[in-house]
Amino acid sequence: MSVDGWHTLLVLGGIRSGKSEFAESLVADAPTVRYVATAPAGDPEDTEWATRLAAHRARRPGSWTTEETAANPGRLVEVIAAAGPNETLLVDDLGGWVTVLLDPAHQPADDTATIAELAAAVRSSTARLVLVSPEVGLSLVPTTPLGRAFTDALGATNRAVADACDAVALVVAGQTAWLKPTTPAPAHAVPPAATSPEAVPSRAATPRTAAHQAAPAQAVPADLGAGDVTLPEVLTPAAAPVPARADSDEPGTGDWAAPTMALPMIATGLVIQPGMELPMPDDYTGPQAVDRLATLDIPGAGLGVLEQVVGFAAATQGTSTPRPWDAVRVLLIQGDHEGGASAGATPGESSRRARQARAGRGALARLAAENRAGLQIVEAPASAPMEERPALSADEVEAALRYGWRLAEQAADAGVQLLVLAACGAGAEAAAAAVLAATAGAEPPTVLGRVVTEQGEIDDAAWMVRCAAVRDALHRTRRSAREAKDVLAELGGGDIALATGVLLGATARKVPVLLDGPVGTAAAMVSRDLAGQARHWCLLPDHGGRPGVRLAADVLGLTPLVDLRLDLGEGATALAALPLLRSALTLAATLPVHPSLGGPDDEGDTGERTGTGDRIGGDDGDDGRAEDEPDFAEPEPAGPGPTTVGADEPVLPGRRAD
């Protein structure tokens, strides 16, 4: 090979850029080369296309062998997977492969899955592998549906294969630029987070160091299986939380906190492993509750998107008449990330926020008080620079998962009916972006939010350092397993691992969870690989304008209910929306059935009946009032009295008489 240090290589380039010649030069000194031709034969009358193919064949040495894969797009995956360590493969090109993939003769097919299979084959290949592909991302968007389908599929293929390869080169006008080198990036490139002070702005580097010195994270206890582990105190900001209801006569309240499964136990405690069978919400009561809304005496078009809240609460409570959540607990997870992930963070800010919440001050504590919710502050273990080494050890991941599980169990035992996940930590958003990139194939810049300083200014330099940290972490772990615990250890860190444990424990105890921000949604992405049922117990009130949260919600199938665009810290938006969610549940539980469907008629029954038939108010014969005493006193008019148009037609000021 003329270039050392790589095992698999993707060569990109435009039409007539010289990409094929460059790729061929890289394998020219190999003893044997298997040339994999992907392009279809084309129209026999197209002489220009035939000339192109002939020119490619003429450049190949006689010692090379050629294999055609145009008849079956899956054949390319088979060839790469079967190649041995002593073989050299040159695939030219992926544009022809995508053309065959989209051919109607091979449809219907799952193109996304086929592309993923190709990337997996490249990643696990033991042969020397060079792939050539056209770079179409710099051209105009095609004006035809077929053209757009081709460019979209080829773009997705290039991204997946580039991520799987050791190196990527771009050929422009015969000149080669290395996009993914195996050597350190040149000085003019976006700097890695852990380089010299000259490469990283000092104001981005200094805060993340000082933040960790000012607020070292508390180590999560390793013996979480023991019953005497002390969990953080549950605070009650400004107002005591509503105590758990002891009565079990209300529909669906009796089994909210009931244990639902027994996990395997070993000497160190419970075992959290992939494929756990945790409970699912009720499949029937959710749709029944939504259908029941159509029978209620609701003026107008109804609850709109808040019908989803009613369906969610009904399914998680196991009743078609769900009740508003009374006992709510907020779990605030504080955990900082070292390295480039925390570039631009204010020194000690996360510790200050945690102290502020403990003192009952700040947005999160005030909103918790307004919602009569308990507040529990949890310190997650510190996370190492993910671009340099794993954020956590395997043992730390296990301990954090079990600790989070125990927190959810404690809440369920206390009668908590709803958990709200909140987080504050330097670098948490970058770690969540890395998790999304690893689990959903996202590009880090598209899911990493802008960095805003204390003065409200956009810090693009810090944002670039964060992007570089995520990029380098993904490159470092490109050959690592993408199992849930591996992702948490390599990229996620302590706060996301602890939040994942909370989601799993809440699912096991049938306690719904409100997500609000990157840490919670990243934890939900990881938890689905440990227990796919966990995401069904999660509700996302708002995406908060964060691109990573939007993507995670789309992948998880969670539809944000509102679009408030609040930026008060993770958890605060959920608390701000909680009164609205409770109001929807209150209406669903207490409004009567419409008179046309058999509900009470105001003319013949002054008492209101709920959807369950309970009577509220009205004359029951023993209310201590005279029979002719009215139920309600006539209100005193405020301001100008009503204007009389006719003898019995009062009209309020400002209203039309008709």
* Angle at which helices 285-293 and 307-317 cross, to 10°: 140
- At 190, list the tokens: 């976006």
Q: Which position has the token pair 């002939």? A: 54
Phi then psi dihedrals of residue 175, to 5 deg: -105, 140
Cβ contacts of 156 within 8 Å, gap of 6 or more:
112, 115
CA–CA separation, 373 and 571 (whole Å): 12
Helix (H, G, I), strand (E, B) or coil at 318: coil
Parallel, antiparallel, or unpaired: how do β-strands 265-266 and 608-609 relate?
Answer: unpaired
Cis link prior to 93 (omega < 30° from 0)? Answer: yes
Active site residue 570: yes
Find out whether 372 and 239 touch, Cβ atoms under 8 Å.
yes
Q: Which of 88, 157, 77, 72 is nearest to 118 (CA)?
A: 77
What angle is formed at CA 324 by the lines to CA 322 and CA 326, rounded to 5 degrees?
130
Q: Which position has the token pair 């062998």? A: 65
Q: Which of 372, 389, 411, 368 is nearest to 501 (CA)?
A: 411
- Please state, as a whole number, how many other Cβ atoms lie within 10 Å of the Cβ of residue 229: 16
User: Which run of H or of E encompasses 334?
Assistant: strand 328-334
- Please state, as a whole number, how many other Cβ atoms lie within 10 Å of the Cβ of residue 546: 24
CA–CA separation, 389 and 629 (whole Å): 78
Find out whether 334 and 217 touch, Cβ atoms under 8 Å.
yes
Cβ contacts of 335 within 8 Å, gap of 6 or more:
217, 350, 379, 380, 381, 382, 383, 423, 425, 428, 493, 494, 495, 498
Find out whether 516 and 421 touch, Cβ atoms under 8 Å.
yes
Scanning 110-226, the segments in alpha helix (DSSP H) are 111-124, 145-164, 202-214
CA–CA separation, 472 and 96 (whole Å): 31
Amino acid letter for position 209? T
Given 277, 370, 570, 629, the catalytic residue:
570
Q: In terms of C-beta density within 10 A (0-12 exposed, 13-18 middle, 19 or more buried), how is residue 447 classed?
A: buried
CA–CA separation, 342 and 428 (whole Å): 8
- At 228, list the tokens: 């005497």
Q: In terms of C-beta density within 10 A (0-12 exposed, 13-18 middle, 19 or more buried), how is residue 198 classed?
A: exposed
Q: Which position has the token pair 């003319």? A: 603
- Residues annotated as part of the active site: 570
